[in-house]
Amino acid sequence: MLFSLLLALSAEATTTTGESRACINNHVSESYQAGWRVRNVSAFEVTQDNNRYMLLDLVGEVEYRFISCGDDRAKSLRIVVYDDMGRLVDSTGPDDDGVEGRQAEMTFKPPSTGSYFVGVRLISAHEVPEELAKKRVIRGLNARATPEVQSPSAGIGLGILYR
């Protein structure tokens, strides 16, 4: 029974991030052929009110490339880099026409060796129809289930490369 539950949960996580994982894998493959080396590739579900960050130790003399892809629910996303004191070091932004898309790339050379937080922010996502946005939350065995409206979300892939 427990195995079946774990299998169902892992299958659900895979289906919600499958498109973004495929996109990021394609970009990483292209970058690898261009001389970049893979450090980390992951995909996760992100809501507009819950960004995702990774704590990475980066070397000052090394050039890094951060690539992110959102699935078809994402309208725009941004890659951000903070130092270990929480100060913004760098971020992607709108292109020359002021448009942010569902893919972002950044080449980054740390000012010094140290720990950095590399994050993906879901700036905007397509609204989920209300009937699909409600989920049931059960608090304890005797509690009533109450509907809770979820924030718009999207599957996001993040690739971290270096050279």
DSSP of 42-82, one letter per residue?
EEEEEETTB-EEEEEEE-TTS-EEEEEEE-TTEEEEEEEEE
Name the token pair of 120. 């993906």
| Amino acid 86: pLDDT | 94
| Amino acid 138: pLDDT | 44
**What amino acid occupies position 81?**
V
For the segment 16-42, what is each residue's pLDDT rounded down to a tens digit? 678 888 999 999 889 888 999 999 999
Region of poorest pLDDT, from 89-93, 102-106, 127-131: 127-131
Please, what is the average pLDDT of the chain?
A: 80
Query: Are 60 and 112 contacting, i.e. CB atoms less than 8 angstroms apart?
Result: yes
Nearest to 153, CA basis, from 9, 20, 10, 5: 20
Nearest to 101, CA basis, from 69, 73, 75, 127: 75
| Amino acid 139: pLDDT | 46
Region of poorest pLDDT, from 44-58, 77-91, 121-135: 121-135
| Amino acid 136: pLDDT | 40
Q: Where are the beta strands (DSSP E) in the chain?
A: 37-47, 52-58, 64-70, 74-83, 88-91, 103-108, 114-125, 134-137, 146-149, 153-162
State the CB neighbour count (10 A cutoff) for residue 77.
26
Longest CA pairwise span in the chain (Å): 58
For the segment 113-162, what is each residue's pLDDT rounded down to a tens digit? 999 999 999 988 988 655 555 554 444 455 555 555 568 889 999 999 99
